[in-house]
Amino acid sequence: MEASPEAPPELPSREWGFLFFDEGGMRRHRSFYSPGELADYVRSMVPRHVYHSAAYYGRPAAPTMKEKAWQGADLIFDLDADHLRNAPRSYGEMLSQVKAETQKLLGFLMADFGFSEKLISIVFSGGRGYHIHVRDPRVLSLGGDERREIVDYLTGRGLDVNRLSYRVRLSGDVGSDNVRALRCPPENSPGWGGRFNSAIVKFAEEIREMDEKSALDRLTKIKGIGEVRAVEFYNRIKRDLVLDDIRSGNLDSLKNLQGIWRYVIDHYLAAQFVEVLGGETDEPVTADVRRLIRCPGSLHGGSGLRVTSLSLRDMEDFDPLYDAVVFGDEPLPLQMLRPFKTEMKGQRYDLAEGPEELSACVAIFLMARGVAVARAR
């Protein structure tokens, strides 16, 4: 696989920045008028990292932000394994988890915000995560505060779970105005309402599939639920039509057990609902309308992997430890500076300090990470 920078839309309006192997600071305030000019610069200068602005400028090469004349910016989401809760230690497992979070976030963006797949660009960062670029004209002019509001929605920050369940008055043959039934949004509801229904259904399915001892143990650990009510809840939740009732938004089909649902929602679902179903993203990146972001097609100088553009269809089968690998399998001698574990192209490596000879793709990854140096044969 070759690595060559891919020019973003509106190339002449983008600012560019570069980090080099032998310099500490970033060279920025550059602009290019054609993909060929950009490619020639990268080939001749060999930067360690290549970035372009999320923003569009009237004068992208101007030396100050004020002089650049900001005209708008792509809506950027940065998902990195460093920000994941309970991230695994294995590099491969870490990348799998952040990929799943990226797919979840894409679902939010298309289902809840209505962004077209055609206006969304997905990029493997070449390191430990993914970037999502939304280029819908409706969001380009949004400022930092508006972009933070989008992040708040995606992550569920400030969401009051208790407001997603409510009581309604029953009247007619089934009761009187004094009778209230517990309801929640049905499963096909948009946004967080539908996710809340899915969480309740999932909880009910898990209880139904447990043996009685395990189910009672789980239920009685929820504050407010004693053994007697737990037994009654377990027996009734196994009835045939209960899940259909919940999916329709009816939490009242288990007569006289509304209180248990209230405890489940208040003391169980509320504690983990947002954490499990909410999206993950780095808020400062999204809110920064002048952010520089990695250029697709370039190499990540901290891994040697290709910063890779992906379609939504590509995401499902994409494995960065195969598909973003640029260098080959020819052996390279190197000196390990410390013990290190990693994996590449389906093979795991548990390396000790000292001399090694490894495939070029692995050796360059290790040297880029700073845990090894080249040595003579």
122 beta partners: 132, 310
Under 8 Å between Cβ of 19 and 301: yes
Nearest C-alpha neighbor of 75 from the set 153, 157, 32, 137:
137
**Candidate list 74, 82, 266, 282, residue with the active-site label:** 282
The sign of the dihedral angle between the CA atoms of 361, 98, 153, 247 is positive
Q: List helix spans (H) across 221-353.
A: 227-237, 242-247, 258-264, 270-277, 283-287, 312-315, 320-323
- What element of type H or E holds 166? strand 166-170
Tokens of 46: 């060999």
**Candidate list 74, 80, 252, 288, residue with the active-site label:** 80
Q: List helix spans (H) across 4-90.
A: 35-45, 65-68
Under 8 Å between Cβ of 125 and 51: no
Under 8 Å between Cβ of 148 and 341: no
For residues 256 and 252, give the distance between their C-alpha atoms in angstroms, rounded to a whole number: 8
Is residue 160 part of the annotated active site? The answer reads: no
In 108-176, DSSP assigns E strands to 120-124, 129-134, 166-170
Catalytic residues: 78, 80, 282
